[in-house]
């Protein structure tokens, strides 16, 4: 794909993944239409000469302005990157559903509504690309962030269904599933706090890596992109050994599980040697599955 003069709408572009996508695409020669919440620094600093539409994306009026101003400036829309989103921490038994509904409005319904607004343009062009920023947490449900995971599951469903609907239309649909990204996501959640063990996780992804995954997904018209690759292994582990994943997430989300002997038994039944030393059996198994998955992904590429 030639990026020069390609018109790209990026939502949630004031920081994090959205800003990284915008910078990378600008370097490649794309014409940008950026959106975000009202923020003087966003409009007046780095993006002074770029089309910026400020407003609440859950508002139909804001979405209409985004499309209208993009068409007035550029006359076309080639790529839509639905990145805007927000989080909420909370366990299923106690999560505030009223806050969850607000999160669904932005993470799912606003993304779908904006997609519906640009699709007629792309259909007339017989070309286009839709990218939805999902999450590994939308593939493996995280009990301490149940409704955030639910929004990403829903967005993944929208992505896959839309891709199948648009088959043969010239419009590609890609969902990008990052792991934990080095952004201010946790500071901007609508409610709750992550468990301390989750907060201490150091294996995080830089937003620039996610931006490169977005570009790769568009260029290769991939249905799904995991950033980093180990995310694919994480999803596979949940599919083939859900009890192991249950124990792993229990260890991350609360007290260490008391029955890790079950994991050792499962390991033996799979022909894996019993873990030795102080490392968690769950972690050992996850690492082995991840390594095998990484090798498989490398072969596919």
Residues serving a catalytic function are: 148
Spatial separation of the C-alpha atoms in residues 37 and 112, rounded to whole Å = 18
Q: Which residue has the tokens 């090798």?
A: 295
Partners of 221 in the β-ladder: none
* 117: its two tokens: 């607004």
Q: What is the sign, positive or negative, of the torsion defined by CA atoms of 109, 114, 116, 119?
A: negative
- Smallest CA-to-CA distance from 155 within 133, 170, 140, 173 is with 133
In what order do the strands lie in the sheet containing 171-178? 51-54, 31-36, 7-10, 79-82, 128-133, 171-178, 224-227
């Amino acid at each position: 794909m030639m990026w020069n003069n390609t018109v790209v709408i990026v939502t949630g572009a004031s920081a994090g993944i959205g800003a990284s996508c915008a910078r990378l695409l600008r370097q490649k020669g794309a014409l940008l239409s950026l959106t975000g919440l009202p923020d003087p620094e966003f409009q007046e600093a780095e993006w002074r000469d770029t089309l910026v539409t400020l407003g609440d994306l859950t508002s139909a009026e804001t979405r209409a302005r985004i499309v209208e101003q993009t068409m007035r400036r550029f006359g076309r829309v080639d790529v839509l990157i639905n990145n805007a989103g927000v989080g909420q921490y909370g366990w299923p038994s106690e999560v505030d559903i009223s806050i969850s509904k607000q999160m669904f409005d932005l993470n799912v319904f606003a993304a779908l509504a904006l997609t519906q607004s640009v699709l007629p343009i792309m259909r007339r062009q017989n070309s286009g690309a839709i990218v939805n920023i999902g999450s590994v947490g939308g593939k493996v449900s995280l009990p301490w962030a149940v409704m955030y995971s639910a929004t990403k599951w829903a967005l993944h469903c929208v992505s896959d269904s839309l891709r199948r609907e648009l088959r043969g239309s010239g419009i590609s649909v890609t969902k990008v599933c990052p792991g934990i990204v080095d952004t201010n996501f946790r500071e901007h959640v609508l409610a709750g706090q992550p468990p301390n063990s989750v907060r201490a996780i150091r294996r995080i992804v830089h937003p620039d890596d996610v931006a490169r995954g977005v570009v790769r997904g568009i260029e290769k018209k991939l249905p799904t992109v995991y950033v980093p690759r180990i995310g694919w292994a994480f999803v596979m582990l949940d599919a083939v050994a859900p009890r192991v994943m249950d124990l792993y997430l229990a260890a991350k989300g609360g007290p260490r599980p008391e029955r890790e002997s079950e994991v050792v038994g499962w390991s033996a039944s799979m022909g894996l040697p019993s873990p030795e030393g102080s490392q968690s059996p769950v972690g050992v198994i996850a690492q082995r599955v991840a390594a095998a998955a990484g090798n498989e992904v490398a072969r596919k590429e």
